[in-house]
Structure 1
Amino acid sequence: MTATRTAPETEPAATEEAGPAPRASRWRTAALATALTALLLGGSAFFYGAHQLRTTPSARNQALTDTAATTRVGGDVGEGLARIFSYTPTGSDAAERSAGTVLAGRAARQYTELFAQVRESLVAQRITLSTQAVRTGVIELDGDGARLLVFLDQVSRRGEGAPTTVAAQLTVTARFQDDRWVITDLRTR
């Protein structure tokens, strides 16, 4: 009789050991699946965030990243403004010729209107104007378009009178064409 009692006691023990093992295995599988899902979602969120950072307007603004292009646009625009806003009573033709190569679009129309007014008094009052770009800051540079803030010093003289120095600020829009920067819009600040 002892033999029959031993067998039933070992069978329930074996059944108890087999029961908890599948439950633990399912728990581990669920935990692993949850951790894997969390890692995938987290990685996707970081990838999306990095994409957003690369596609913001400031990331596309070459004025913040391309020193050579920024220097070139600043130099071309500053030199162009100095040429078109510098003239003497007998030398206004050079400024107008420069305007033909430096300006385009709205800026060319603005300059033509302004210079028509100046030309009337230029010879009669013997006005001399000398302009120098003191500081040129590129606000935005994107491919072949740029916006700049330009600080100018202008010295004017009427006849033999004392020179008058005036500071000016312009917001300039420029476009790269024919291997040079051309001013397309001028706005005083």
Structure 2
Amino acid sequence: MTSPDAPTTPAPGPGDPPRAPRPWAALTLVLVLLACGAGLLHRTQQLTGAPALRNHALTDTGATDRVIRDVTGALTQVFSYAPGDTAATRQAAGRLLAGKAARQYAALFGQVEQRAARQRLTLTTHVVRAGVTRLDARGAHLLVFLDQVAQRAGTPATTVAAQLSVVAERQDGTWRITDIRSR
């Protein structure tokens, strides 16, 4: 007696000819190949289209080196101060920061100036590594790793590492930082 779940057609034997492929399997394969081809074509367009071509971060080493040099120099100046010379840091921020970065800095630096004088705090910033992720004629996006060494009078120095996302704009031939975000 056969069960109701048993196949009604016998399995092919060793001498039987192979079964003809089912048309739906071939159609499915064709559709999958077409979808993969369309996806690859779209991705190729993204990588070679106009926005990708405008990103000079990897193709213009001179411009990339310049923005890295300008931005890392600016970060070193605006995030380094001594208790008796915070005015130089404030002036550097006025020259090197713009937009949102300048407003955020101004709001926080008043508190820092008071604390630096009262606690005799010196902060020295060293950029460890910086890379440009996007660069065009007007703006740049950078990822910056830095170490900050804080020294209070009479205490050992403390080093803290930081990672920043920085946006800079080219204004009158100079790169000015317009946004800084801690990562």
TM-score after normalising by structure 2: 0.73
Shift of the alpha carbon at 1:56? 4.5
Find the aligned partners of 1:187 and 1:61 in 2 and give their Cα distance. Answer: 21
Which residue does the alignment assign to 1:119?
113
Alignment of 1:19-98 (within 5 A): 54-98=48-92
Q: Give the match's secondary structure for 2:80.
A: coil
Distance 1:83 1:161, change over 3 A: same
Give the drift of 1:177.
1.0
Candidates 100, 103, 111, aligned match of 1:106? 100
Write the deviation string for residues 137-173 of structure 1: whole angstroms up to 9, x where unpaired: 1010021111000111110011121000011111000
CA contact (8 A) 2:78 2:89 kept: yes
SS in 1 for 2:52: helix
Q: How far apart are residue 179 of structure 1 and its match?
A: 1.4
1:122: how far off? 1.0
User: Which runs of structure 2 are paired with 1:92-171 in the superposition (5 Å)?
Assistant: 92-171=86-165
Do the aligned partners of 2:46 and 2:52 also contact (CA within 8 Å) in 1? no
Residue 167 to residue 50, structure 1, CA distance change in 2 (3 Å):
closer
Aligned-pair CA distance for 1:59: 2.4
SS state of the match for residue 57, structure 2?
A: helix
Among 177, 185, 188, the residue aligned to 2:182: 188
Post-superposition offset of 1:57:
2.8
Q: CA deviation at 1:50?
A: 8.6
Higher Rg of the two aligned structures: 1
- What runs of 5+ residues in structure 2 fail to find an aligned partner? 1-42
Tell me the distance in 2 between the aligned counterparts of 1:56 and 1:88.
Answer: 47
> CA 1:138/1:160 → structure 2, altered by over 3 Å: closer, same or farther?
same
Distance 1:56 1:124, change over 3 A: same
SS of 2:122's equivalent? strand
The Cα of 1:187 is off from its aligned counterpart by 0.4
Report % sequence identity.
Answer: 53
Q: Which runs of 5+ in 1 are unaligned?
A: 1-48
How many aligned positions are there?
142
Q: Structure 1-normalised TM-score?
A: 0.71
* Structure with the larger helix share: 1
